[in-house]
Amino acid sequence: MSNLKEKILNKTATLGVCGLGYVGLPLAVEKAKAGFKVVGFDVQEAKVNMVNAGHNYIGDVVNEDLAAIVASGNLCATTDFASVASCDCVCIAVPTPLDKHQEPDISYVKASTESIAPYLHKDMLVVLESTTYPGTTEELLKPILEEKSGLKCGEDFYLAFSPERVDPGNLIYKTKNTPKVVGGCTPACTDIAATMYEAVLEAPVHRVSSPAIAEMEKILENTYRNINIGLVNEIARLCNKMGISVWEVIDAAKSKPYGFQAFYPGPGLGGHCIPLDPYYLTWKAREYGFHTTLIENSMIINDSQPDYCVDRAMHILNRHKKAINGAKILVLGVAYKNDIDDYRESPAIRVVEKLLEVGADVTYYDPWVASFMEGELSMTGEKALTPELIESVDLVMVTAAHSNVDYALVQKHAKAIFDTKNVMKRIDNRDNIEVL
């Protein structure tokens, strides 16, 4: 048995987490709760200071858990990567966005790897968790780590990929009980990485034969959802033209106990993974002269959904003898999904941008997001959803299905409502409601 594996099993290993965001902080907390000493690394000093003060800023972390493990000394944070030298394992969980050309931006992964490499030591494990294209671990991380450290992967240190699986706001599956996939550069790398996760999580760990397999399976998970949401968004557009309720169609289809999984239409796709991951795959596929036609078509549909919603809003206003240019529109919800404060890649914000482009006078209310800044657009939401606010606008657009919004109040006072989430389906009087 390797010395590192023994240290993991008896929980004397020090575990590092690079990137203290939506993935990294919950991971660091679970490692500390499992009894390991954990060091968190982040380039943002504000995040480091909040962690060290025991102040939580991530919805999936329990405030009391963070405060307790920081107070116990099991978790600390720093901007100084020299502390990597004291770690036995380091997981990289940094953003992997798209650039302005819709191509993978792995600059954060590269920068993190370069920051770790000078302090890499023998019998150490490095795991990449950031979602990326197949080949990143072996083609990018491995050469940097070997060149800068003079150590050899699989002999002197261990390297693996284990994709993050984080669903913000999910009350059932959290970091601790979500099954993990692990693929190492060598069988020994896989074994050490899997042993580390098995010592931390309650969920099973699924071992695969290489980092590329693990990287591809993560892309498959989210591309599967992207394609099926694209399908149902297209069906919704057709149903609207035919005068059929797509929501009733889906409810009927999901009565079949096999061969069908329900997906639902909406104003578009949000979050860090589902809207972005297919672009990683299509970009990598071009290297092999392969065109991912089905995937690209689903992306076109989903990416155009905010435009479709604005077009539908224009027609609703037109039926009320009101032009969209100058119309007062209240957007209900700018978070990318219900009951969370996360607005990364939110389709609701893209709807707001499109409405502003056509001259609408837009305001928003979101009980979870008091204000937002996305690109060049920044807005502060209404403090309260009042009858006076609702009556003052020409159209209310529901773009997030938050459970703590009084939709009966909205229906009672709104001139017109465009419900893109079917959240008002139980409202009896539907004369002023139009559904996606």
Place of tokens 């139980």: 426
Q: Give the residues across from 37 on adjacent strands.
A: 14
Contact predicate 199/8, CB 8 Å: yes
Query: Per residue in 324-351, is it b (16+ CB within 10 Å) or e — as a string?
Result: beebebbbbbbbbbbbbbbbbbbbbbbb
Q: Which pTM was predicted?
A: 0.91
Neighbours of 2 (CB within 10 A): 14
Q: Is 273 annotated as catalytic?
A: yes
Contact predicate 396/330, CB 8 Å: yes
Spatial separation of the C-alpha atoms in residues 246 and 239, rounded to whole Å: 6
Contact predicate 294/227, CB 8 Å: yes
Catalytic residue selected from 91, 185, 273, 309: 273
- In a structure prediction context, what are the per-residue pLDDT tens digits for the chain, which is 436 residues long? 579 999 999 999 999 999 999 999 999 999 999 999 999 999 999 999 999 999 999 888 889 999 999 999 999 999 999 999 999 999 999 999 888 777 889 999 999 999 999 999 999 999 999 999 999 999 999 999 999 999 999 999 999 999 999 888 888 899 999 999 999 999 999 999 999 999 999 999 999 999 999 999 999 999 999 999 999 999 999 999 999 999 999 999 999 999 999 999 999 988 777 778 888 888 889 989 998 999 999 999 999 999 999 999 999 999 999 999 999 999 999 999 999 998 988 999 999 999 999 999 999 999 999 999 988 899 999 999 999 999 999 999 999 999 999 999 999 999 999 999 999 999 988 899 999 9
